[in-house]
Chain A
Protein backbone atom coordinates (compact mmCIF):
# COMPACT_ATOMS: atom_id res chain seq x y z
CA UNK A 1 0.00 0.00 0.00
CA UNK A 2 2.72 2.40 1.04
CA UNK A 3 4.84 1.38 -1.90
CA UNK A 4 1.87 1.94 -4.17
CA UNK A 5 1.26 5.50 -2.96
CA UNK A 6 4.96 6.21 -3.24
CA UNK A 7 4.84 4.99 -6.82
CA UNK A 8 1.81 7.18 -7.51
CA UNK A 9 3.62 10.18 -6.05
CA UNK A 10 6.67 9.47 -8.20
CA UNK A 11 4.47 9.33 -11.34
CA UNK A 12 2.92 12.69 -10.47
CA UNK A 13 6.34 14.26 -9.95
CA UNK A 14 7.96 13.08 -13.21
CA UNK A 15 6.78 15.86 -15.51
CA UNK A 16 7.25 18.80 -13.03
CA UNK A 17 10.73 17.61 -12.10
CA UNK A 18 11.68 17.29 -15.74
CA UNK A 19 10.45 20.81 -16.53
CA UNK A 20 12.17 22.25 -13.49
CA UNK A 21 15.47 20.65 -14.52
CA UNK A 22 15.01 21.95 -18.04
CA UNK A 23 14.31 25.46 -16.71
CA UNK A 24 17.29 25.26 -14.38
CA UNK A 25 19.57 24.06 -17.17
CA UNK A 26 18.42 26.62 -19.76
CA UNK A 27 18.61 29.49 -17.22
CA UNK A 28 22.20 28.57 -16.36
CA UNK A 29 23.08 28.35 -20.06
CA UNK A 30 21.63 31.69 -21.21
CA UNK A 31 22.72 33.62 -18.09
CA UNK A 32 20.14 36.36 -18.68
CA UNK A 33 17.65 36.76 -15.77
CA UNK A 34 15.42 39.07 -17.84
CA UNK A 35 14.70 36.30 -20.33
CA UNK A 36 14.74 33.42 -17.87
CA UNK A 37 15.60 33.90 -14.19
CA UNK A 38 17.26 31.19 -12.14
CA UNK A 39 15.03 28.63 -10.48
CA UNK A 40 16.59 29.50 -7.10
CA UNK A 41 15.61 33.17 -7.41
CA UNK A 42 11.97 32.34 -8.04
CA UNK A 43 11.90 29.75 -5.27
CA UNK A 44 13.50 32.33 -2.98
CA UNK A 45 10.64 34.76 -3.79
CA UNK A 46 7.96 32.12 -3.34
CA UNK A 47 9.32 30.83 -0.04
CA UNK A 48 9.30 34.36 1.46
CA UNK A 49 5.83 35.52 0.44
CA UNK A 50 5.72 38.24 3.10
CA UNK A 51 8.86 40.07 1.92
CA UNK A 52 8.30 43.49 0.46
CA UNK A 53 8.82 43.49 -3.32
CA UNK A 54 9.77 46.46 -5.49
CA UNK A 55 7.94 48.77 -3.05
CA UNK A 56 4.63 47.17 -3.91
CA UNK A 57 3.94 45.16 -0.80
CA UNK A 58 4.53 41.49 -0.41
CA UNK A 59 3.43 38.65 -2.66
CA UNK A 60 1.03 37.44 0.05
CA UNK A 61 -0.65 40.81 0.57
CA UNK A 62 -1.10 41.23 -3.18
CA UNK A 63 -2.64 37.77 -3.45
CA UNK A 64 -5.08 38.67 -0.68
CA UNK A 65 -6.06 41.92 -2.43
CA UNK A 66 -6.64 39.93 -5.63
CA UNK A 67 -8.63 37.28 -3.81
CA UNK A 68 -10.93 39.87 -2.27
CA UNK A 69 -11.57 41.43 -5.67
CA UNK A 70 -12.31 38.07 -7.25
CA UNK A 71 -14.59 37.07 -4.40
CA UNK A 72 -16.60 40.31 -4.61
CA UNK A 73 -17.10 40.05 -8.38
CA UNK A 74 -17.68 36.33 -8.20
CA UNK A 75 -20.27 36.46 -5.42
CA UNK A 76 -22.15 39.15 -7.30
CA UNK A 77 -22.14 36.95 -10.42
CA UNK A 78 -23.32 33.90 -8.46
CA UNK A 79 -26.06 35.89 -6.70
CA UNK A 80 -27.51 36.98 -10.02
CA UNK A 81 -26.70 34.00 -12.26
CA UNK A 82 -28.04 31.21 -10.02
CA UNK A 83 -31.59 32.55 -9.48
CA UNK A 84 -31.72 33.69 -13.10
CA UNK A 85 -30.54 30.31 -14.34
CA UNK A 86 -33.06 28.49 -12.17
CA UNK A 87 -35.89 30.67 -13.47
CA UNK A 88 -34.74 30.20 -17.05
CA UNK A 89 -34.46 26.46 -16.56
CA UNK A 90 -37.87 26.16 -14.94
CA UNK A 91 -40.05 28.53 -16.93
CA UNK A 92 -39.78 28.12 -20.68
CA UNK A 93 -41.27 31.61 -21.06
CA UNK A 94 -38.34 33.18 -19.18
CA UNK A 95 -35.97 30.98 -21.15
CA UNK A 96 -37.41 32.07 -24.49
CA UNK A 97 -37.44 35.67 -23.32
CA UNK A 98 -33.78 35.82 -22.31
CA UNK A 99 -31.81 32.98 -23.83
CA UNK A 100 -31.15 34.33 -27.31
CA UNK A 101 -30.39 37.78 -25.97
CA UNK A 102 -27.93 36.43 -23.43
CA UNK A 103 -26.48 34.19 -26.11
CA UNK A 104 -25.26 37.32 -27.90
CA UNK A 105 -23.19 38.36 -24.89
CA UNK A 106 -21.81 34.96 -24.04
CA UNK A 107 -19.13 34.83 -26.77
CA UNK A 108 -17.73 38.30 -25.96
CA UNK A 109 -14.46 37.76 -24.08
CA UNK A 110 -14.27 39.65 -20.77
CA UNK A 111 -11.27 41.62 -22.09
CA UNK A 112 -13.38 43.10 -24.90
CA UNK A 113 -15.50 44.79 -22.25
CA UNK A 114 -12.55 46.82 -20.96
CA UNK A 115 -13.02 50.02 -23.03
CA UNK A 116 -16.73 50.16 -22.32
CA UNK A 117 -16.21 49.41 -18.65
CA UNK A 118 -13.66 52.20 -18.36
CA UNK A 119 -16.04 54.64 -20.00
CA UNK A 120 -18.76 53.62 -17.56
CA UNK A 121 -16.89 53.32 -14.31
CA UNK A 122 -13.56 55.13 -14.81
CA UNK A 123 -11.54 54.76 -11.64
CA UNK A 124 -14.48 54.77 -9.25
CA UNK A 125 -14.30 52.09 -6.59
CA UNK A 126 -16.35 50.64 -3.78
CA UNK A 127 -15.15 53.63 -1.76
CA UNK A 128 -16.84 55.99 -4.23
CA UNK A 129 -19.96 53.88 -4.06
CA UNK A 130 -20.13 53.82 -0.26
CA UNK A 131 -19.07 57.47 0.10
CA UNK A 132 -16.18 56.70 2.45
CA UNK A 133 -13.34 59.11 1.75
CA UNK A 134 -10.88 58.73 4.61
CA UNK A 135 -9.20 56.26 6.88
CA UNK A 136 -8.23 52.62 6.73
CA UNK A 137 -11.52 51.54 5.15
CA UNK A 138 -10.99 54.00 2.33
CA UNK A 139 -7.71 52.33 1.49
CA UNK A 140 -9.31 48.89 1.47
CA UNK A 141 -12.41 49.87 -0.48
CA UNK A 142 -10.56 52.07 -2.95
CA UNK A 143 -8.54 49.01 -3.95
CA UNK A 144 -11.68 47.38 -5.28
CA UNK A 145 -12.48 49.24 -8.48
CA UNK A 146 -15.91 48.87 -10.02
CA UNK A 147 -14.29 48.22 -13.40
CA UNK A 148 -12.41 45.21 -12.02
CA UNK A 149 -15.48 43.83 -10.35
CA UNK A 150 -17.36 44.10 -13.61
CA UNK A 151 -14.71 42.24 -15.62
CA UNK A 152 -14.58 39.45 -13.04
CA UNK A 153 -18.37 39.42 -12.89
CA UNK A 154 -18.62 38.93 -16.66
CA UNK A 155 -16.10 36.11 -16.52
CA UNK A 156 -17.91 34.21 -13.78
CA UNK A 157 -21.48 34.98 -14.84
CA UNK A 158 -21.92 32.86 -17.96
CA UNK A 159 -20.55 29.52 -16.77
CA UNK A 160 -22.72 29.74 -13.64
CA UNK A 161 -25.80 30.79 -15.60
CA UNK A 162 -25.42 28.09 -18.24
CA UNK A 163 -24.98 25.25 -15.78
CA UNK A 164 -27.82 26.50 -13.57
CA UNK A 165 -30.16 26.43 -16.58
CA UNK A 166 -28.89 23.04 -17.61
CA UNK A 167 -29.08 21.70 -14.06
CA UNK A 168 -32.74 22.60 -13.69
CA UNK A 169 -33.69 21.48 -17.19
CA UNK A 170 -32.10 18.08 -16.80
CA UNK A 171 -33.83 17.18 -13.54
CA UNK A 172 -35.55 13.84 -14.06
CA UNK A 173 -39.26 14.55 -14.49
CA UNK A 174 -40.16 11.33 -12.71
CA UNK A 175 -38.68 12.77 -9.50
CA UNK A 176 -40.98 15.79 -9.75
CA UNK A 177 -44.01 13.62 -10.60
CA UNK A 178 -43.36 11.24 -7.74
CA UNK A 179 -43.15 14.13 -5.28
CA UNK A 180 -46.44 15.52 -6.62
CA UNK A 181 -48.29 12.22 -6.20
CA UNK A 182 -46.92 11.98 -2.65
CA UNK A 183 -48.69 15.24 -1.86
CA UNK A 184 -45.89 17.83 -2.24
CA UNK A 185 -46.85 21.49 -2.60
CA UNK A 186 -45.12 23.35 -5.42
CA UNK A 187 -42.81 25.11 -2.96
CA UNK A 188 -41.77 21.69 -1.64
CA UNK A 189 -41.23 20.32 -5.13
CA UNK A 190 -39.00 23.32 -5.75
CA UNK A 191 -37.04 23.26 -2.50
CA UNK A 192 -36.83 19.56 -1.78
CA UNK A 193 -36.64 18.04 -5.25
CA UNK A 194 -35.75 20.53 -7.96
CA UNK A 195 -32.99 22.45 -6.16
CA UNK A 196 -31.17 19.48 -4.64
CA UNK A 197 -31.40 17.63 -7.96
CA UNK A 198 -29.97 20.61 -9.86
CA UNK A 199 -27.37 21.41 -7.19
CA UNK A 200 -24.50 19.29 -8.53
CA UNK A 201 -24.71 20.99 -11.90
CA UNK A 202 -24.97 24.43 -10.27
CA UNK A 203 -21.96 23.74 -8.06
CA UNK A 204 -20.04 22.51 -11.08
CA UNK A 205 -20.83 25.78 -12.86
CA UNK A 206 -19.75 27.72 -9.78
CA UNK A 207 -16.43 25.92 -9.87
CA UNK A 208 -15.90 26.69 -13.55
CA UNK A 209 -17.04 30.27 -12.93
CA UNK A 210 -14.55 30.75 -10.13
CA UNK A 211 -11.79 29.45 -12.38
CA UNK A 212 -12.73 31.90 -15.14
CA UNK A 213 -13.07 34.77 -12.63
CA UNK A 214 -9.60 34.08 -11.33
CA UNK A 215 -8.27 34.01 -14.89
CA UNK A 216 -9.88 37.38 -15.62
CA UNK A 217 -8.05 38.84 -12.67
CA UNK A 218 -4.88 39.80 -14.50
CA UNK A 219 -6.91 41.54 -17.19
CA UNK A 220 -8.89 43.37 -14.52
CA UNK A 221 -5.78 44.45 -12.61
CA UNK A 222 -4.18 45.88 -15.73
CA UNK A 223 -6.90 48.53 -15.80
CA UNK A 224 -5.98 52.11 -14.84
CA UNK A 225 -6.33 52.94 -11.18
CA UNK A 226 -4.99 49.57 -10.15
CA UNK A 227 -2.11 49.80 -7.70
CA UNK A 228 -2.04 46.36 -6.18
CA UNK A 229 -2.87 42.71 -6.72
CA UNK A 230 -0.93 39.86 -8.28
CA UNK A 231 -2.02 40.86 -11.77
CA UNK A 232 -0.71 44.33 -11.23
CA UNK A 233 2.45 42.97 -9.58
CA UNK A 234 3.18 40.95 -12.71
CA UNK A 235 2.62 43.79 -15.16
CA UNK A 236 4.59 46.20 -13.01
CA UNK A 237 7.48 43.76 -12.50
CA UNK A 238 7.57 43.30 -16.27
CA UNK A 239 8.05 47.05 -16.88
CA UNK A 240 11.11 47.03 -14.63
CA UNK A 241 12.44 43.79 -16.13
CA UNK A 242 12.01 41.67 -12.99
CA UNK A 243 11.14 38.43 -14.74
CA UNK A 244 11.69 36.45 -11.53
CA UNK A 245 8.81 38.34 -9.89
CA UNK A 246 6.70 37.80 -13.02
CA UNK A 247 7.22 34.06 -12.83
CA UNK A 248 6.72 33.96 -9.05
CA UNK A 249 3.44 35.85 -9.53
CA UNK A 250 2.33 33.49 -12.28
CA UNK A 251 3.08 30.47 -10.15
CA UNK A 252 1.12 32.03 -7.25
CA UNK A 253 -1.88 32.62 -9.53
CA UNK A 254 -1.69 29.01 -10.65
CA UNK A 255 -1.40 27.69 -7.11
CA UNK A 256 -4.25 29.78 -5.71
CA UNK A 257 -6.46 28.91 -8.69
CA UNK A 258 -5.76 25.22 -8.24
CA UNK A 259 -6.46 25.50 -4.51
CA UNK A 260 -9.83 27.16 -5.11
CA UNK A 261 -10.68 24.48 -7.65
CA UNK A 262 -9.66 21.79 -5.18
CA UNK A 263 -11.89 23.32 -2.50
CA UNK A 264 -14.90 23.09 -4.81
CA UNK A 265 -14.04 19.55 -5.84
CA UNK A 266 -13.83 18.64 -2.18
CA UNK A 267 -17.34 20.00 -1.57
CA UNK A 268 -18.61 18.21 -4.68
CA UNK A 269 -17.18 14.89 -3.55
CA UNK A 270 -18.42 15.30 -0.01
CA UNK A 271 -21.93 16.50 -0.71
CA UNK A 272 -22.78 15.34 -4.19
CA UNK A 273 -21.13 11.97 -4.58
CA UNK A 274 -24.58 10.54 -5.34
CA UNK A 275 -24.46 12.22 -8.72
CA UNK A 276 -21.67 10.01 -10.04
CA UNK A 277 -22.94 6.89 -8.32
CA UNK A 278 -26.60 7.23 -9.24
CA UNK A 279 -27.65 4.99 -12.08
Chain B
Protein backbone atom coordinates (compact mmCIF):
# COMPACT_ATOMS: atom_id res chain seq x y z
CA UNK B 1 0.00 0.00 0.00
CA UNK B 2 1.13 3.51 -0.76
CA UNK B 3 2.70 5.32 2.13
CA UNK B 4 0.93 8.55 1.22
CA UNK B 5 -2.82 8.81 1.48
CA UNK B 6 -3.00 12.21 -0.19
CA UNK B 7 -0.56 14.10 -2.34
CA UNK B 8 -1.03 17.82 -2.86
CA UNK B 9 0.91 19.11 -5.81
CA UNK B 10 1.67 22.69 -6.85
CA UNK B 11 -1.65 24.12 -5.74
CA UNK B 12 -2.38 27.69 -6.78
CA UNK B 13 -5.63 29.41 -5.94
CA UNK B 14 -6.79 32.83 -7.03
CA UNK B 15 -10.13 34.26 -5.93
CA UNK B 16 -11.99 37.08 -7.54
CA UNK B 17 -13.86 39.14 -4.96
CA UNK B 18 -17.26 40.70 -5.58
CA UNK B 19 -15.54 44.01 -6.29
CA UNK B 20 -13.61 42.29 -9.06
CA UNK B 21 -10.35 42.26 -7.17
CA UNK B 22 -8.17 39.17 -7.67
CA UNK B 23 -6.77 37.68 -4.49
CA UNK B 24 -3.90 35.24 -4.65
CA UNK B 25 -4.79 32.90 -1.79
CA UNK B 26 -2.39 30.00 -2.29
CA UNK B 27 0.86 29.80 -4.20
CA UNK B 28 2.63 26.61 -5.21
CA UNK B 29 1.60 24.54 -2.19
CA UNK B 30 2.87 20.96 -2.27
CA UNK B 31 2.38 18.53 0.57
CA UNK B 32 2.38 14.79 1.08
CA UNK B 33 0.17 13.37 3.78
CA UNK B 34 1.17 9.99 5.20
CA UNK B 35 -1.21 7.34 6.35
CA UNK B 36 -2.12 7.73 10.06
CA UNK B 37 -0.43 11.10 10.15
CA UNK B 38 -1.66 13.90 12.37
CA UNK B 39 -0.84 17.07 10.46
CA UNK B 40 -1.57 20.58 11.72
CA UNK B 41 -1.67 23.60 9.43
CA UNK B 42 -0.91 26.83 11.26
CA UNK B 43 -0.54 30.31 9.89
CA UNK B 44 -1.68 33.88 10.30
CA UNK B 45 -5.37 34.44 9.63
CA UNK B 46 -6.08 34.84 5.95
CA UNK B 47 -3.11 32.70 4.89
CA UNK B 48 -5.35 30.35 2.94
CA UNK B 49 -5.12 27.37 5.29
CA UNK B 50 -8.89 26.87 5.34
CA UNK B 51 -8.98 27.26 1.57
CA UNK B 52 -6.34 24.56 1.24
CA UNK B 53 -8.42 22.26 3.43
CA UNK B 54 -11.53 22.92 1.35
CA UNK B 55 -9.58 22.14 -1.81
CA UNK B 56 -8.42 18.84 -0.30
CA UNK B 57 -12.05 18.09 0.63
CA UNK B 58 -13.18 18.75 -2.93
CA UNK B 59 -15.45 21.62 -1.86
CA UNK B 60 -13.37 24.06 -3.89
CA UNK B 61 -11.23 23.70 -6.97
CA UNK B 62 -7.64 24.80 -7.21
CA UNK B 63 -6.81 27.29 -9.98
CA UNK B 64 -3.85 25.09 -10.91
CA UNK B 65 -2.33 21.99 -9.35
CA UNK B 66 -3.90 18.78 -8.13
CA UNK B 67 -4.88 16.90 -5.02
CA UNK B 68 -4.46 13.17 -5.47
CA UNK B 69 -6.24 11.00 -2.95
CA UNK B 70 -5.50 7.27 -3.02
CA UNK B 71 -4.32 7.56 -6.60
CA UNK B 72 -7.34 9.53 -7.84
CA UNK B 73 -7.51 13.30 -8.37
CA UNK B 74 -10.08 14.97 -6.10
CA UNK B 75 -12.64 16.94 -8.10
CA UNK B 76 -15.68 16.76 -5.85
CA UNK B 77 -16.48 15.89 -2.22
CA UNK B 78 -15.79 12.29 -1.32
CA UNK B 79 -17.13 10.62 1.78
CA UNK B 80 -13.75 9.01 2.41
CA UNK B 81 -12.56 12.56 3.05
CA UNK B 82 -14.53 13.57 6.14
CA UNK B 83 -14.62 17.18 7.26
CA UNK B 84 -15.40 18.93 10.52
CA UNK B 85 -16.23 22.63 10.45
CA UNK B 86 -15.72 25.33 13.04
CA UNK B 87 -19.40 25.50 13.96
CA UNK B 88 -23.04 25.47 12.78
CA UNK B 89 -22.67 22.24 10.88
CA UNK B 90 -25.36 20.21 12.68
CA UNK B 91 -28.89 20.17 11.30
CA UNK B 92 -30.88 22.06 13.95
CA UNK B 93 -34.15 20.25 13.15
CA UNK B 94 -32.70 16.80 13.74
CA UNK B 95 -31.87 15.05 16.97
CA UNK B 96 -28.27 14.36 17.88
CA UNK B 97 -28.61 10.67 16.93
CA UNK B 98 -30.15 11.53 13.54
CA UNK B 99 -27.37 14.03 12.92
CA UNK B 100 -24.73 11.42 13.63
CA UNK B 101 -26.45 8.97 11.27
CA UNK B 102 -26.68 11.50 8.43
CA UNK B 103 -23.83 10.06 6.37
CA UNK B 104 -25.23 6.54 6.70
CA UNK B 105 -28.61 7.82 5.61
CA UNK B 106 -27.03 9.28 2.46
CA UNK B 107 -25.37 5.92 1.89
CA UNK B 108 -28.81 4.27 1.99
CA UNK B 109 -28.14 2.19 5.11
CA UNK B 110 -31.20 0.71 6.88
CA UNK B 111 -32.53 2.36 10.03
CA UNK B 112 -31.42 -0.43 12.36
CA UNK B 113 -27.82 -0.06 11.25
CA UNK B 114 -28.00 3.72 11.47
CA UNK B 115 -29.23 3.52 15.06
CA UNK B 116 -26.57 1.06 16.03
CA UNK B 117 -23.72 3.03 14.48
CA UNK B 118 -24.90 6.38 15.81
CA UNK B 119 -25.13 4.89 19.31
CA UNK B 120 -21.62 3.48 19.00
CA UNK B 121 -20.12 6.82 18.06
CA UNK B 122 -22.13 8.79 20.60
CA UNK B 123 -20.72 6.40 23.21
CA UNK B 124 -17.25 7.11 21.84
CA UNK B 125 -17.59 10.88 22.32
CA UNK B 126 -19.36 10.49 25.67
CA UNK B 127 -22.80 11.72 24.63
CA UNK B 128 -24.82 8.52 25.02
CA UNK B 129 -27.47 10.29 27.08
CA UNK B 130 -28.03 13.05 24.54
CA UNK B 131 -29.12 10.92 21.57
CA UNK B 132 -32.64 12.39 21.54
CA UNK B 133 -31.60 15.97 22.31
CA UNK B 134 -31.51 18.69 19.69
CA UNK B 135 -28.30 20.56 18.83
CA UNK B 136 -29.59 23.81 20.36
CA UNK B 137 -29.89 22.05 23.68
CA UNK B 138 -26.15 21.32 23.74
CA UNK B 139 -23.16 23.47 24.62
CA UNK B 140 -20.64 24.45 21.95
CA UNK B 141 -18.21 21.76 23.06
CA UNK B 142 -20.89 19.06 23.00
CA UNK B 143 -21.95 20.12 19.52
CA UNK B 144 -18.41 19.73 18.26
CA UNK B 145 -18.30 16.26 19.82
CA UNK B 146 -21.44 15.42 17.85
CA UNK B 147 -19.81 16.76 14.69
CA UNK B 148 -16.79 14.53 15.34
CA UNK B 149 -19.05 11.52 15.96
CA UNK B 150 -20.93 12.25 12.74
CA UNK B 151 -17.74 12.44 10.70
CA UNK B 152 -16.36 9.24 12.24
CA UNK B 153 -19.66 7.35 11.78
CA UNK B 154 -19.08 7.71 8.05
CA UNK B 155 -15.75 5.90 8.46
CA UNK B 156 -13.59 8.26 6.39
CA UNK B 157 -9.93 7.58 5.57
CA UNK B 158 -8.93 11.16 6.27
CA UNK B 159 -10.44 13.60 8.72
CA UNK B 160 -10.12 17.24 7.67
CA UNK B 161 -10.72 19.58 10.60
CA UNK B 162 -11.19 23.30 9.98
CA UNK B 163 -10.50 25.10 13.28
CA UNK B 164 -12.93 22.72 14.98
CA UNK B 165 -12.25 24.10 18.47
CA UNK B 166 -11.82 27.72 17.42
CA UNK B 167 -15.15 28.88 18.82
CA UNK B 168 -14.77 27.17 22.20
CA UNK B 169 -13.57 28.59 25.49
CA UNK B 170 -10.01 27.74 26.59
CA UNK B 171 -10.96 25.05 29.07
CA UNK B 172 -13.38 23.19 26.80
CA UNK B 173 -10.82 23.46 24.05
CA UNK B 174 -8.15 21.66 26.08
CA UNK B 175 -10.69 18.99 27.08
CA UNK B 176 -11.65 18.37 23.46
CA UNK B 177 -8.01 18.27 22.33
CA UNK B 178 -7.46 15.48 24.85
CA UNK B 179 -10.65 13.74 23.67
CA UNK B 180 -9.56 13.97 20.06
CA UNK B 181 -6.18 12.40 20.84
CA UNK B 182 -7.88 9.59 22.78
CA UNK B 183 -10.14 8.86 19.80
CA UNK B 184 -7.29 9.19 17.33
CA UNK B 185 -5.17 6.77 19.34
CA UNK B 186 -8.03 4.30 19.09
CA UNK B 187 -8.57 4.43 15.33
CA UNK B 188 -5.50 6.23 13.90
CA UNK B 189 -7.36 8.03 11.15
CA UNK B 190 -5.22 10.40 9.14
CA UNK B 191 -6.02 13.91 10.38
CA UNK B 192 -5.35 17.25 8.74
CA UNK B 193 -6.12 19.90 11.32
CA UNK B 194 -6.25 23.63 10.62
CA UNK B 195 -5.75 25.94 13.57
CA UNK B 196 -4.44 29.41 14.32
CA UNK B 197 -3.40 28.32 17.80
CA UNK B 198 0.27 27.34 17.95
CA UNK B 199 -0.28 25.71 21.33
CA UNK B 200 -3.02 23.50 19.89
CA UNK B 201 -0.79 22.45 17.01
CA UNK B 202 2.15 21.58 19.26
CA UNK B 203 -0.14 19.64 21.58
CA UNK B 204 -1.73 17.57 18.82
CA UNK B 205 0.42 17.18 15.74
CA UNK B 206 3.02 14.78 14.42
CA UNK B 207 3.91 17.40 11.88
CA UNK B 208 3.22 21.11 11.84
CA UNK B 209 3.01 22.91 8.52
CA UNK B 210 3.67 26.61 9.06
CA UNK B 211 2.16 28.78 6.36
CA UNK B 212 2.98 32.30 5.33
CA UNK B 213 0.53 34.90 4.17
CA UNK B 214 -0.35 36.76 0.95
CA UNK B 215 -0.13 34.54 -1.00
CA UNK B 216 -0.30 31.46 1.23
CA UNK B 217 2.81 29.31 0.93
CA UNK B 218 4.37 26.60 3.01
CA UNK B 219 7.06 28.29 5.05
CA UNK B 220 8.31 25.42 7.15
CA UNK B 221 7.51 21.87 8.16
CA UNK B 222 8.28 20.87 11.74
CA UNK B 223 8.26 17.28 12.95
CA UNK B 224 7.36 16.79 16.58
CA UNK B 225 8.68 13.69 18.22
CA UNK B 226 7.47 14.31 21.76
CA UNK B 227 5.56 11.37 23.23
CA UNK B 228 1.86 11.85 23.93
CA UNK B 229 0.15 12.95 26.08
CA UNK B 230 2.33 16.00 25.84
CA UNK B 231 3.02 18.06 28.87
CA UNK B 232 2.72 21.78 28.39
CA UNK B 233 5.26 22.26 31.21
CA UNK B 234 7.93 20.36 29.22
CA UNK B 235 10.70 22.83 28.17
CA UNK B 236 10.78 21.33 24.68
CA UNK B 237 7.08 22.13 24.33
CA UNK B 238 7.77 25.74 25.18
CA UNK B 239 10.75 25.99 22.84
CA UNK B 240 8.77 24.59 19.94
CA UNK B 241 5.87 26.92 20.55
CA UNK B 242 8.20 29.89 20.81
CA UNK B 243 9.94 28.95 17.58
CA UNK B 244 6.71 28.72 15.64
CA UNK B 245 5.32 31.87 17.21
CA UNK B 246 8.48 33.71 16.13
CA UNK B 247 7.92 32.58 12.55
CA UNK B 248 4.31 33.77 12.62
CA UNK B 249 5.34 37.04 14.18
CA UNK B 250 7.80 37.62 11.36
CA UNK B 251 5.00 36.97 8.89
CA UNK B 252 2.72 39.50 10.51
CA UNK B 253 5.58 42.02 10.92
CA UNK B 254 6.46 41.71 7.24
CA UNK B 255 2.90 42.31 6.31
CA UNK B 256 2.61 45.42 8.44
CA UNK B 257 5.87 46.71 6.97
CA UNK B 258 4.39 46.19 3.54
CA UNK B 259 1.27 47.96 4.69
CA UNK B 260 3.26 50.90 6.01
CA UNK B 261 5.26 51.17 2.79
CA UNK B 262 2.05 51.05 0.77
CA UNK B 263 0.64 53.73 3.04
CA UNK B 264 -2.28 51.60 4.22
Are A and B co-members of a single complex?
yes
Q: Pick the residue among B78, B89, B136 that contacts A178 (CB under 8 A).
A: B89
Whether A185 contacts B59 in the complex (CB less than 8 A), given A175-B91, A193-B91, comes out as no
* Partner pick for A278 among B77, B85, B136, CB 8 A cutoff: B136
Contact between chains at B85 and A177 (CB < 8 Å): yes
Chain A residue at minimum C-beta to C-beta distance from B135: A278
Query: By the criterion CB–CB under 8 Å, are B57 and A279 in contact?
Result: no
A-B pairs under 8 A by CB, number: 68
- Please give the distance in Å from A42's CB to the nearest CB on chain B: 45
| In the bound complex, CA of A177 to CA of B87 (Å) | 12
B104 to chain A, nearest CB (A): 9
Contacting pair A278 B102 (CB below 8 A): no
B88 in contact with A184 (CB, 8 Å): no
How far, in whole Å, are A185 and B79 apart by their CA atoms in the complex?
A: 11
Bound Cα distance A272, B92 (Å): 10
Contact A178 B106 (CB under 8 A): no
Asked if residues B83 and A175 are in contact (CB atoms below 8 Å), the reply is no
Which A residues touch B105, using CB under 8 A? 192
Task: Check A188–B83 contact: CB distance below 8 A.
Answer: no
Best-surrounded residue of B78, B83, B102 (most CB of chain A within 10 A): B102
Binary interface encoding of chain B residues 104-134 relative to chain A, with 1 for a CB under 8 A from any of its CBs, else 0: 0111000000000000000000000000001
In-complex Cβ contact of A182 among B88, B106, B136, B160 (8 A): B106
B93 near A181 with CB under 8 A, answer no
CB of B103 closer than 8 Å to a CB of A: yes
Interface residues on A, range: 20 to 34
Contact between chains at B59 and A180 (CB < 8 Å): yes
CA distance A175 to B135 in the complex (A): 13
Least CB distance from B60 to A in Å reads 10
Give A249 to B58 CA distance when docked, in angstroms.
62
Q: How far is the CA of A277 from the CA of B160 in the complex (A)?
A: 29
Pick from B59, B89, B103, B136: contact of A183, CB below 8 A. B103
Q: State A185–B102 Cα separation when bound (angstroms).
A: 12
Q: Does B81 contact A (CB under 8 A)?
A: yes
Residue from B59, B103, B134 within 8 A of A274 (CB atoms)? B134
Contacts of B154 in A (CB 8 A): 182-183
A54–B106 Cα gap in the complex (Å)?
63
B43 adjacent to chain A (CB < 8 Å): no
Picked from A172, A180, A277, the residue with its CB within 8 Å of the CB of B136 is A277
Within 8 A of B (CB), among A161-191: 172, 174-175, 177-185, 188
- A122 CB within 8 Å of chain B: no
Interface string of A256-279 (1 = CB under 8 A from B): 000000000000000010110111
User: Quick check: B92 and A275 within 8 Å, CB to CB?
Assistant: yes
Contact of A180 among B77, B92, B151, B160 (CB under 8 A): B77
Asked whether A174 lies within 8 Å of B89 as measured between CB atoms, the reply is yes
Please measure, in the bound complex, the distance between the C-alpha atom of A277 and the C-alpha atom of B137, giving whole angstroms. Answer: 8
B85 touches A196 (CB 8 A): no
Residues of A within 8 A of B106 (CB): 179, 182-185, 188
Q: Are A172 and B79 in contact (CB under 8 A)?
A: no
Task: Say whether B136 contacts A274, CB under 8 Å.
Answer: yes
Give, as a whole number of angstroms, the nearest-CB distance from A171 to chain B.
11
Residue of A nearest to B86 (CB): A174
Q: Is there an interface contact between A277 and B82, defined as CB atoms closer than 8 Å?
A: no
- A181 and B91 contact, CB distance less than 8 A: no
Chain A residues, CB < 8 A from B147: 178
A274-B136, A278-B135, A278-B136 as given contacts; A182 in contact with B85, CB under 8 Å: no
A193–B89 alpha-carbon span in the complex (Å)? 11
Q: B85, B136, B151: which contacts A174 (Cβ < 8 A)?
A: B85
Which residues does chain B contribute within 8 Å of A272, judged by CB atoms?
Answer: 93
Nearest 8 A/B pairs, CB to CB: A183-B79, A182-B103, A278-B92, A178-B89, A277-B136, A180-B77, A181-B83, A274-B92
- Chain A to chain B contacts (Cβ below 8 Å), 8 pairs: A174-B88, A181-B58, A181-B79, A182-B82, A182-B106, A183-B77, A193-B91, A277-B134
Q: Residues of B with Cβ closer than 8 Å to A?
A: 57-59, 77-79, 81-83, 85, 87-89, 91-93, 102-103, 105-107, 134-137, 147, 150-151, 154, 160
